[in-house]
Amino acid sequence: MIKLKNSLTVRGDSLYCPLPFSLDTYGNCLTDCWHCYFRNLNKVWGEDLKPADLDLMEKTLRAGLKNKNPKSFVGHMLCRKKTIRLGNKADPFQDIENKYRITRQAINLLVKYDWTFVIQTRHTENMMMAEKNLFAAKAKNLITIMPVVSPGLERDWEILERKRTTNPLGRLLLSRHLIRKGFPLGINGEPFIPGFHTIQDFEDTLKLLKFYKIQSYNTYNFHFNAFVAKRLHAIGIDVEKIWYYNQDDQWKKILRKLLDLSIKYGIRLGCPDFVNTGKDWVEKANTCCGIDVPNPATFNTHNFKRLKQEGKSTEEIIKLTYDGAGDMEQAKAIIEGKKCKFYTLKDAGL
């Protein structure tokens, strides 16, 4: 079987994300949720599963720690031991993990090198089959768990996730169990699909989080492209309605209500959408996923906005946030609102 060589990557939009350093244990996700925009990458990568090359992964980790003069973004993340998000383009605990156990072995490597990481998954039942690995990481304070539960709950599970994942209520029940066991945990609520999900859906989910003693959630609107639109249209979903409400002017009104609901229910809400949250919304965690991690990337809009809100100058913001990775000039343009090809703090009203 062809192996995945570049399992450790940095998101291309790292200036917008405190958790851009990712580890994918598989190069494809056989769960294949209908709304997943990442599956468009199969046109480039092919349909092969591609388990990660664990020997190469360990060599990369070891070499990265020794490299005092990194030239790449991945190199900078490695030498600074930035917290890794496990499960970016493919779910690390998709069903095939029970056969190949690549994720379990990857966790063992991260524990071996005392590397902090976040597990993002819709397959919490499969994740708990790796219980020994999880507790080994917890014993060294390395692990944060982030199950994905979008606000449509059972409807999303049936329609979008095709019942190929753990039932959402099962994810929440297990999350409560893990919190009781002392695991740092937050729920990833992405995506909120405007025109498909409703504000009532979101409120009902917050009520469930409170019931299960879960204090952290996050929300973001939809990565909507032609690939996803075709797939959703094929299963009878109104993509024109989604497109309309996904536009900034419509989404901003919806998002404001979601933010207010999180305050009402006392849920710490993370939101990567620094533009549409406006100038007054302050993130409560060191990531926009709504969770605190030991060593997030800091050179990004999450921190640019916070420091701008505190009245810091551009020079101060750059000095306080730069951690070795990221385009300095582009970051300055984001802070000062001097570019129109990407979102800036000016768009957020700052």
Q: Is the dihedral of CA 96, 97, 99, 100 positive or negative?
A: positive
For the chain, helix (H) and strand (E) counts, in that order, are 16, 7
| Rounded Cα–Cα distance for residues 279 and 284 (Å) | 14
| Rounded Cα–Cα distance for residues 101 and 93 (Å) | 9
pLDDT for 207 equals 98
For the chain, 350 residues long, give each residue's pLDDT as a single digit of tens: 899 999 999 998 899 999 999 999 999 999 999 999 988 877 777 788 999 999 999 999 999 999 999 999 999 999 999 999 999 999 999 999 999 999 999 999 999 999 999 999 999 999 999 999 999 999 999 999 999 999 999 999 999 999 999 999 999 999 999 999 999 999 999 999 999 999 999 999 999 999 999 999 999 989 999 999 999 999 999 999 999 999 999 999 999 999 999 999 999 999 999 999 999 999 999 999 999 999 999 999 999 999 999 999 999 999 999 998 889 999 999 999 998 888 999 999 99
pLDDT for 115 equals 98
| Rounded Cα–Cα distance for residues 304 and 298 (Å) | 9
All residues at 6 or more sequence positions from 20 whose CB lies less than 8 Å from its CB, including other chains: 10, 11, 13, 14, 77, 297, 300
Q: Is 52 exposed, middle or buried (0-12, 13-18, 19+ CB in 10 A)?
A: buried
| Rounded Cα–Cα distance for residues 171 and 223 (Å) | 23
Q: Which residues of 76-111 are buried (b: 16+ CB within 10 A; e: fewer)?
A: bbbbbbbbbbbbbbbbbbbebbeeebbbbbbbbebb
Encode pLDDT of 160-172 as tens digits: 999 999 999 999 9
All residues at 6 or more sequence positions from 63 whose CB lies less than 8 Å from its CB, including other chains: 78
For residue 26, which of 83, 103, 85, 98 has the smallest C-alpha distance? 103
pLDDT for 138 equals 98
Long-range contacts of 76-80, Cβ-Cβ distance < 8 Å, separation of 24 or more = 76/323, 76/324, 76/325, 77/10, 77/20, 77/21, 77/297, 77/325, 78/8, 79/324, 80/295, 80/323, 80/324
| Rounded Cα–Cα distance for residues 334 and 336 (Å) | 6
